[in-house]
Amino acid sequence: MQTMTLGGSGEQVSQVALGCMQMGTRQDEATSFALLDRYTERGGNFLDTANCYMWWHRRGIGGGQSEELLGRWLVRRGRRDDVFLATKGSGMVTDPSAAFTEDEEPDWNAAGRLFEGAGGETLHRAIDGSLQRLGTDYVDLYYVHVDDRTTPLEETLEALDDIVRAGKARFIGWSNVRTWRLERIRQLCDRHGWQSPVAVQQRHTYLRPRIERDQASNVDGEQLDYLAEHDDLTLVAYSPIVQGVYDVADKREGPGLIDLYRGPDTDARLAAVDRVASKVGATGSQVVLAWLLAQRDPRVIPLIGPRTLEQFDELMAALDLRLEGPVLAELDTAGA
């Protein structure tokens, strides 16, 4: 596992981050500990969680299970100083029980109206809760999980700066955010001398999102161009393998994340992945991860969330896959 500098932090983090969202809910403790052990044994150090993970697993659990499990792992393994620990606030819902349908499925439309937001008091309360669950005095990176456009940015940024000055977080980041908002955030931080973000966590993969399904969470061409010009911000790419669509043909039919990408351009891009995977003797997901790792303008840290050790080992094989110039060109030029 190689490392790279995270934005303007000066810190070295592993080139692949481990998403811990499902740990403590869909993944039992033994499996979660085994994944964390395997990842750190391979040289990984960048762990990602959030205070809301995973209230939607079932009604009544309320969230926080991932942080609690990570806290137990850190204590039992004594690894706090060996990892770069990231968590998030603002994405918790104020009443998780109200964000389920009558069929006991999460209601994401309702959840979108119930986010706790990024007000100053909320963020201070959220970071304290996260630190308690994680069993640590500080996190290395604290994200605004869901960009809150109802709270003045000045209030959010001042609170985040206070959190850093208090030693509760070393750096800050933003997630699910528009490019113009990133620029406004940077301008305010520069004007007031506040801590500026070093990372932006967005949904990003080899496929290009459909314009009509545009979301603040998706990286588009403008955001890639912006990040290429501002190397003090590193792109952390979540959902990089799009729920396995690069390897499982049935998943390309949906429903799921593929619906954000479906169209002629996507068909051409998927066909290119299939061709390259056949040429290099790899899976489609490995090809896509290797492609992301090969990007330089901007550089990308894929955030993976394997369910099993077997899935983890398969994805990690992408670290040994070197895509040469002609192969990269074939992938880059596929589609519209």
Tens digit of each residue's pLDDT (9 = 90 or more) over 32-53:
999 999 999 999 999 999 999 9
- Name the pTM for this structure: 0.97
- 311 lies in some domain: no
Tens digit of each residue's pLDDT (9 = 90 or more) over 261-291:
988 899 999 999 999 999 999 999 999 999 9
* pLDDT of res. 214: 73
- 111 lies in some domain: yes
Split into its structural domains, the chain has a count of 1
Q: Output DSSP code: residue 57.
A: G
CATH number at residue 38: 3.20.20.100
* pLDDT of res. 273: 98
- 37 lies in some domain: yes
- 282 lies in some domain: no
- 17 lies in some domain: yes
Give the H or E element holding residue 67. Answer: helix 65-77
Q: CB neighbours (10 Å) of residue 70?
A: 26
- 89 lies in some domain: yes
Domain that holds residue 119: 3-203
Cis peptide before 54 (omega within 30 of 0): yes
Average pLDDT over residues 165-187: 98
Q: CB neighbours (10 Å) of residue 149?
A: 13
* pLDDT of res. 213: 67
Q: CB neighbours (10 Å) of residue 57?
A: 15
- 53 lies in some domain: yes
Taking the C-alpha atoms of residue 206 and residue 328, their distance in angstroms, rounded to an integer, is 11
- 33 lies in some domain: yes
For residues 246 and 212, the model is more confident at 246
For residue 336, name the pLDDT band (cuts at 50, 70, 90): confident
Beta-carbon-side half-sphere exposure of residue 192 (alpha carbons within 13 Å): 19
